[in-house]
């Protein structure tokens, strides 16, 4: 896959919302039990059980979103030994959970360093220009809307699933879709794997178009022996929503005013 590194698309204002989103995702990740202590992927059972309990609590579960069914038993974060050997303890949940709010909290939960850094890399490169184009408040609303539609759209595809959906991928995919619509010809420095990584300056439509095609390909079940734990369909939905919302903002439409000090009004 092409890995973007930097785009040649200057902004007119500091993208504080993008920075804040990245900082919030990083902060939540550092507070997530069981992931920071094992960056290499080898996780002890105690860490794994605590991570499962955290994800179950704060993740968005399709059957909760669509059917309103809350589980009778959830991981507690503790470990024990049962008939089949060591495992994670289950018990009735000791917390209340709002399915609607779980979509929001799930956007800031990541299960591994690779999951986090991949999302934040794309948000860092492409989010600043979308924030610059929309303005800070509209950009934040846009980001959250894409995440919500991606989360609920994914849940509707498998409403009986009890597997929590986590990560900022749906919201970030919306940013990528908007960028493709607004800045398709902007050059993006990218690393292209060919024996080794070759740096090339490619147009955004190639980088992001290839990304979308791969997500759609994988979500349909092609190219993979199994879907694994990646919600490719949420990526596709978020990308499509972001692109659709950006269509009215294409070049030729009214641009937001550039930042700068306001001119004083003349006294009457």
Tell me which of 57, 110, 115, 235 is the catalytic residue.
Answer: 235
3-class secondary-structure state, position 79: strand
Overall size of the chain counted in residues: 268
The tokens describing 153, both together, are 């759209």
Q: Active site residue: 102, 169, 190, 219, which one?
A: 169
Angle 127-182-172 (CA atoms, 0-180°, nearest 5)?
Answer: 30
Under a CB-based contact definition with an 8 Å cutoff, are residues 58 and 105 in contact? yes
- Sheet order of strands, 3-7 included: 3-7, 187-194, 196-203
CA distance 35 to 246: 35
169 catalytic residue (yes or no): yes
Identify the DSSP state of 163.
Answer: S
Alpha helices by DSSP H, listed for the chain, are 16-31, 45-58, 62-66, 99-106, 113-134, 136-157, 169-182, 204-219, 232-246
Alpha carbons 28 and 15: distance in angstroms, whole number: 20
Beta-bridge mates of residue 196: 194
SS3 247: helix
Closest residue by Cα to residue 153 from 143, 165, 167, 141: 165
Question: For this structure, is 57 an active site residue?
Answer: no
Could you list the active site residues?
169, 235
């Amino acid at each position: 896959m092409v890995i973007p590194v930097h785009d040649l698309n200057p902004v007119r204002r500091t993208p504080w919302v993008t920075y804040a989103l990245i900082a919030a995702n990083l902060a939540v990740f550092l507070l997530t039990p069981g992931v920071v202590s094992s960056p290499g992927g080898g996780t002890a059972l105690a860490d794994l059980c605590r991570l499962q309990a955290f994800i179950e609590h704060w993740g968005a579960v399709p059957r909760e979103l669509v059917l309103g069914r809350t589980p009778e038993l959830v991981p507690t974060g503790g470990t024990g030994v049962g008939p089949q050997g060591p495992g994670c303890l289950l018990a009735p949940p000791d917390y209340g959970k709002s399915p609607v709010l779980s979509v929001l909290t799930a956007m800031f939960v990541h299960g591994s360093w690779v999951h986090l850094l991949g999302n934040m890399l794309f948000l860092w490169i492409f989010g600043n220009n979308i924030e610059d184009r929309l303005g800070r408040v509209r950009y934040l609303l846009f980001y959250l809307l894409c995440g919500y539609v991606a989360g609920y759209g994914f849940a509707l595809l498998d409403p009986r699933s009890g597997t929590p959906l986590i990560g900022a991928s749906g919201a970030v995919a919306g940013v990528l879709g908007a960028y493709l619509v607004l800045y398709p010809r902007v050059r993006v420095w990218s690393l292209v794997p060919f024996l080794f990584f070759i740096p090339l300056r490619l147009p955004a439509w190639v980088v992001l178009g290839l990304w979308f095609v791969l997500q759609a390909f994988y979500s349909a079940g092609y190219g993979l022996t199994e879907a694994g734990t990646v919600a490719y369909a949420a990526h596709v939905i978020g990308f499509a929503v972001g692109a659709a919302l950006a269509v009215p903002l294409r070049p030729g439409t009214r641009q937001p005013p550039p930042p700068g000090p306001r001119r004083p009004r003349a006294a009457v």
